[in-house]
Structure formats: C-alpha cells, structure tokens
Structure 1
Amino acid sequence: MKSLGSIRRSFAPWNDPAATPYIRLENVTKKFGDFVAVNDLSLDIYEREFFALLGASGCGKTTLLRMLAGFEEPSAGRIFLDGQNLSGIPPYRRPVNMMFQSYALFPHMTVEANIGFGLKQDRMPRDQIAARVAEMLKMVKLEQFAKRKPHQLSGGQRQRVALARSLAKRPKVLLLDEPLGALDKKLREETQFELTDLQQELGLTFVVVTHDQEEAMTMADRIAILDKGEVMQVATPAETYEAPASRFVAEFVGSVNLFDGSVSARQGSVASIAYGDGLTIAADNAGDAAVGDQVAFAIRPEKVRVASRKPEAGADNVMSGAVWDIAYLGDMTIYHVKLDDGRVVKSAMLNSSRLVEDPLTWDDRAWITFAPDAGVVLTR
C-alpha cells in the first residue's frame, strides 16, 4: 500500500498486533436521562500516543474525556488504563490529570502557587515542591513570571501555567479539553507545535478534545472522528484526509467534491462510475465497491486542476463548464466551476509563481481534470 501524506514519525503501535492498548474503552455507553451521549463505543489508545477526539458540539467527545477523568461514570461498558479497570475509582485516585478549556487558575495565587497547588494537596515535601515547580516553570518558559498572578498574564501565558500545573503531578495520561480555544490564531498555531514537541519529550499519553480540524491534524498521531456518540473513523491525520471511511468523514474533514453515481464496470482496483447524463469517472481507489453499487466519488479540491484550454483527447476525467466564483488567498486561488450539468466543482490551485500562467476570470469557459488515483470511492 502506498503511503498517505507525510511520514510523521516511526511511532505506530496500533499497527503492531502484539501491542497492548494503554487505554481501552469497551462498549462504553453514557446516558443522561433519555439522551444517549456515548453509544456503545469501543476505542484503543496506546502509551505515548497523542490522540485526538474530533467532532462537532454534542458528539460526545467531552463526555468521553470526563469519563476517563472520573467526573462521569459509564452507564454501561468498561474503561481500562494500563490494565486496571477504572470503574468506581474517584478522579483524585486516577493517574490522569485534566487541563480544562477555561484553565481554571486560582486568581488569588501566583503562577508558582498555581503550579504547585496539586503537589501541596498531596503533601509533597516543601523542598520537592519547589524543585518540581522550578522544573515546570523552565519547561513552559515562564521563570520570570513566577510571582505574577493570572490577571497579569496574556492568554498564551495562562495556557502555559495551566499546562504546567497539569503536568506537575506527572500523570500517566494528560487529558486536554479544547486546550487552545482561548488563544488567537497565530498563537494557537505556534502552541500546537510546542505541545506536540513537549508531549514527545515527556513521553506521556495525551488525549485531546477539539472541534478544530486543523488542530487535530497538526498535533495528533491518530484522530477519532465522533458523531452522535459513535466513532466514525479512527486513523492517522493523513489517512483521515486522503482515505475517509465514509461520506460523513469526507465532508466533515476539510473540503471535498462528491460525485454520486453507480459502479458500471470494475477491473482490479479500478472502477468506472456512471453519474449524470452519460458521464463516467475513472477511479483507481474503488475499495470493495461492486458493479451496480451506489457510491460517491470523493476528491479534494487541491487534486482538481482547472484550465482555460481543453485537454488533449484521451485524457481521463475531463469535465467542462464556466468559472462561477474565484477567491484569491495569496498562497492559492479557489475556483468554483459550474459544470455544464449544473454541478459546482471546487478547485484549489497553488500559486507557485508570482505570475499567473493561465489567467481565468468570472464566466470564462474552463475545463477541470483529475487523475484516476486522486480521489476515493465511498460505499457508505
């Protein structure tokens, strides 16, 4: 099988049949009255993994995190951590710590007092607390702010204090609930990489809840996409984007063009998909689709080429239309091309040169093309 996306690192215990999951959720259900927040969900997370729970509001991701932390108990099913059943174990006795979206810092305490609070509650000797706090301050680069109080810090600095406090007790697992939601875009992007580097340096298991796709794709080794309390797909960021398991995942992650049709012919992994009025798409990645199946062909906008000149005869997957909309974003230009059958297809073209090689403007006649292996056939 060809590699999908960039190679993040060699760490991939989920591909080892002999590897034992560090966190295991077995048929976990959580109900609040008649509402089912998590529905018969099973999931494996491995030691030292940076794992993301991604989904829209109300999909059950925060409820899952709270059950791992011990703030909620499952209505059914079991949760294991390092082989231990967590049922009935209160939050303060679990080897996990949780960093909340609001950071929940004590406003009357200094930075160093906030970081050392949990250690003080555990009755750690004073000299050891001082040493651990100093270590945490250095780790998050806040040594010079040790005597300040939260209201004297920026949003990014408060986020670092909350992170240091969460890590001070050296938990086996750190749970992060929308940890970067309060930061501005530029700082959020910088912090994503810092968190990833820190997690690898410490060798801890991180489980993060987020609704931000870019955040999950940047930080996580694997992503679980949730909908209505169920797992839609668990995969690496590249696999999630390039090989979505369903129409829901394809539409939820990033931008996508979908062509609905039926498989008219199949030879090996290559399928012909009939759609529209006598039109056919050649698709290499047909999966388990059989002749006669109703399918959707999903292709990302950056895989679609748009040009003012008609391709040579015999080219695969050629469609014609007119430029309907254009958005110039600096690094790329987004084209919406309205095909002759009325369908609108989105293309994202990289601006690799300062000069426009093939200028297109509104209402121009245009042809779009894409390679047979550029998209994926979805059967559900």
Structure 2
Amino acid sequence: MKSLGSIRRSFSPWTDPSSKPFISFRNVTKRFGDFVAVDDLSLDIYTREFHALLGASGCGKSTLLRMLAGFEQPTSGEIILDGQNLAGIPPYRRPVNMMFQSYALFPHMTVETNIAFGLKQDGMPKPAIAERVTQMLKLVKMEQFAKRKPHQLSGGQRQRVALARSLAKQPKVLLLDEPLGALDKKLREETQFELMDLQQDLGLTFVVVTHDQEEAMTMADRIAVMAHGKVIQVATPAEIYEAPNSRFVADFIGDVNIFDGTVSRAQASEIRIEADAGFAIEAASSEHPSEGAKAGFAIRPEKIRVGRQVPAGSPVNAAEGELWDIAYLGDMTVYHVKLNSGKVVKASSLNAVRAVEDPLGYDQKVWISFDRDAGVVLKD
C-alpha cells in the first residue's frame, strides 16, 4: 500500500462519511470595523483530533481560536461544539480551556495553587482539588516543583504548569495559542513530542494555533493552512507537503522549486510542460489543463538529483547548470544550481555516509534531474 509520507497513526475519522465532526465552523465571518479577520470560513474538527491552524500573522487563526473559546463573537455564521451552538454561551460555560503563549501564570502563587485556581473557582471540594492537582503534577512531571513559584522555574517548566492548569478542569477541547513560542529550539522539539503523546493518552481534542510549519507538521493529525481569513487547504501533514492544492500552499510549506511553463500535451494521467526554465517536464498528474494553457510544477529540493553526467535515457525532467552554492548542514547538503536559462534551483541530499568520494564543488557544470512522479502540477 502506497502512502504520501509516513503514517503516525491510523486515526482518520474525516475519511469516514458516517463520522460527525466534534467542532464545526459554519460560514463564520468576523469583522473588526472594516477589517475582515475571518471570511466566510467553514471547517470541521473531529473528536480526539490534534488539529493545527497554520498561517502567517494576521491570517485569522488566533481570531478563530478566540471565537471558539468565547473571547470573541462571530459577526455571522455558527460555531457548533458537540452538537451545541455556542452562540451566547460565555467562555466559562464552554467545555474548552485555553493555554496562552504567555502562560499567564499567577506570579504570587505556587505551582500547585496555580493548577488548583480554576478548580477552586468552580467550587470543587478541597479533597477532590488536592487529588486532581496531584494527578496533574504527575502528568506533566512537576511533582518536585509543587511549592515553587513561577519565577523559580525555567521556561519549559512554566509551560508545563500552564498545560497542567489548562487540563485540570478536564475540558473537552484544549486550545493552544502558540504554546511553544517562548521555548528554545531543542526544548521546543522535545515538547512537541510530549504534547503529541499526552494528547493521545488523554484522548482529548487539541486545537493549536501556530505560524511554525515544522511545529504543525510534527504534532498535528491535520493542518488547516490559512490566509486572509480563509482556509486554503485542510489535509494531513504529508498531503499538505506532497500534494499542495495551490501555489500558495506549495510555497508556504517548506522549501520548493516552482517551474512555470506552457502545456504542450495533456493526457489522462500525464502532462507535458515546456518550462520557461528551458527544458521539458513530464509529470504524472490528475490535473487536466488544456494544451496551450499556462501551468506550474512544484517540486521539493530533496526530490531533485544533482550529478556531473547527463541523466541516461531521459530527454525530459533534466537540465544543465552550474553549481553556485553548497551548504553542508550535517544531516544533509543543500545545493543551489543556476541553470543555463538563469533560473536558480535548490536541491538537497541526505548525508547517509560520513565520507564522500569526489564530492561536488563550486562552479562545476552539473545536471539536475527528477522522476515523473516527484512533483505536483499546480492548479493556480
């Protein structure tokens, strides 16, 4: 069985027509004066899904999260959670909890009293509060720090306390607004996997807002790529990366080379594009632009081969150029090849061995090449 990328788990209720969404945004619009932050947006999220809202600043993702939490109200449209329309329901009555980027811990309270705060506000009996706090401290591995105050903790430890406080009230949905932005790179990467494991162990629905592509790709079951208040594509990380539905998504997610050109042949499962970069591209494609139409072809750097020799037996999907730049990144090497047409192409290769015989060098004449199914024809 072929798949686009590795499969983290078999969980995929969105592929089952009988599955009902747990959260539904139905034609939701949010205006702030003349500015449209969210524009007639519809989106479904399923029970136990780890869903990421991904986009650049100002795309509407945080506004969408705040409307789900109840801190903002839609100008029009509906938000449905577990079959209930959330219109008019205040934040404290909603079965959701939100973890903010700043963590918003009370500086004068200890770790355990920070975690207990919401439970006390709800009038939970003291013995039950103590038991729940103990459970949360164990869950986030912070038992030995229970008596400390926030200023005595590292950034990663404060993040864990904020997470424990958010989970203490056992919400149906946990909302995370840029939750790892304050952590350093190594700790952020470690915490991403901890959040994934925690979400699956608890069986909760997580909705995370982030502008970090790697963060979304790592943690989420599905990603909603947003721009200008709209959802551009909703799919699994592998589908977003390997099969973007537009030029915007292809360019926004990861590194990509885009070749523009004119369609010279369009068949049922293959297309030929005469690229402006000076060579012909033949690609497996279900898209059927007409002959003579303009088209784009997107291919990731790791799908492109770089070599000294003309690729054998292939008059297409290959072009000659000059090696302009080389970056050794440890796990991989990145090449910038300037084609004879002047277009610069980015390619990369995994450094699977420590020593390389006769490595490529600057200013060498090289050929790039790729397979017919290595890239995707773009709709726009």
TM-score, length basis structure 1: 0.98
Moved more, 352-361 or 200-209: 352-361
Do 1:294 and 1:379's aligned partners in 2 also have CA atoms closer than 8 Å? no
Taking the TM superposition and a 5 Å limit, the aligned residue runs for 1:93-112 are: 93-112=93-112
Q: 3-state SS of the aligned residue for 2:65?
A: helix
Closer/same/farther in 2, CA of residues 43 and 324 from structure 1, 3 Å limit: same
Q: Aligned partners of 2:266, 2:2: CA distance in 1, in Å?
A: 21
**Aligned counterpart, 1:75:** 75
> Which ranges of structure 2 fall in alignment gaps of 5 or more residues?
none
- The equivalent of 1:236 in structure 2 is 236
1:316 positional shift = 4.0
Over aligned residue pairs, what C-alpha RMSD do you find? Answer: 1.1
Instruction: Give the direction of change, closer, same or farther, for the CA distance of 1:352–1:277 in structure 2 (3 Å limit).
Output: closer
Shift of 1:7: 1.0
Q: Distance in 2 between matches of 1:141 and 1:2?
A: 39
The normalised TM-score by structure 2 is 0.98
Report what 1:28 is aligned to.
28
Match of 1:261 in 2: 261
Aligned to 1:156: 156
Equivalent residue number for residue 376 of structure 2:
376
Shift of residue 32 of structure 1?
0.3
Report if aligned partners of 2:298, 2:378 keep a CA contact under 8 Å in 1: yes
CA distances 1:318-356 after superposition (whole Å, capped 9, x unpaired):
100000111110111100000000000000111111122
Q: Percent identity?
A: 72
SS of 2:333 mapped into structure 1: strand
Distance in 1 (CA, whole Å) between partners of 2:123 and 2:288 is: 59
Cα distance, 1:278 vs. partner? 6.0
The answer to whether the Cα contact below 8 Å between 2:323 and 2:336 also exists between their aligned partners in 1 is yes
| CA-CA distance at 1:313 after TM superposition | 3.5
Shift of 1:218: 0.4
Please give the alpha-carbon distance, in whole angstroms, between the structure 1 residues aligned to 2:277 and 2:163: 57
CA distance in 1, matches of 2:52, 2:271: 34
* 2: CA distance, partners of 1:163 / 1:337: 46
**Partner Cα separation in structure 2 for residue 64 and residue 103 of structure 1:** 19
> What residue number does 2:361 align with?
361
Q: Which runs of 4+ in 1 moved over 2 A?
A: 276-279, 285-293, 313-316
Question: Do the aligned residues in 1 keep the contact of 2:111 with 2:145 (CA within 8 Å)?
Answer: yes
State the partner residue of 1:211: 211
List alignment gaps of at least 5 residues for structure 1. Answer: none
Change (3 A) 1:5 1:48: same
Distance 1:83 1:245 in 2: 30
Distance change in 2, residues 1:180/1:277 (3 Å): closer
SS of 1:14's partner is: helix
Partners of 1:52 and 1:243 in 2: how far apart?
18
Q: Note if contact 1:307-1:358 (Cα within 8 Å) is conserved in structure 2.
A: no
The alpha-carbon distance between structure 1 residues 357 and 271, as it changes in their structure 2 partners (threshold 3 A), is farther
Which residue number corresponds to residue 190 of structure 1?
A: 190
Residue matched to 2:115 = 115
Residues 104-161 of structure 1, C-alpha deviations (whole Å, 9 max, x = no match): 0000000000000000000000000000000000000000000000000000000000
Q: Structure 1: how far apart are the matches of 2:288 and 2:206?
A: 34
Q: Secondary structure at the match of 2:37?
A: strand
DSSP 3-state at the match of 1:67: helix
Q: Distance in 2 between matches of 1:253 and 1:278?
A: 26
* 1:252 maps onto 2:252 in alignment: yes
Q: Which residue of 1 aligns with 2:89?
A: 89
- SS in structure 1 opposite 2:347? strand
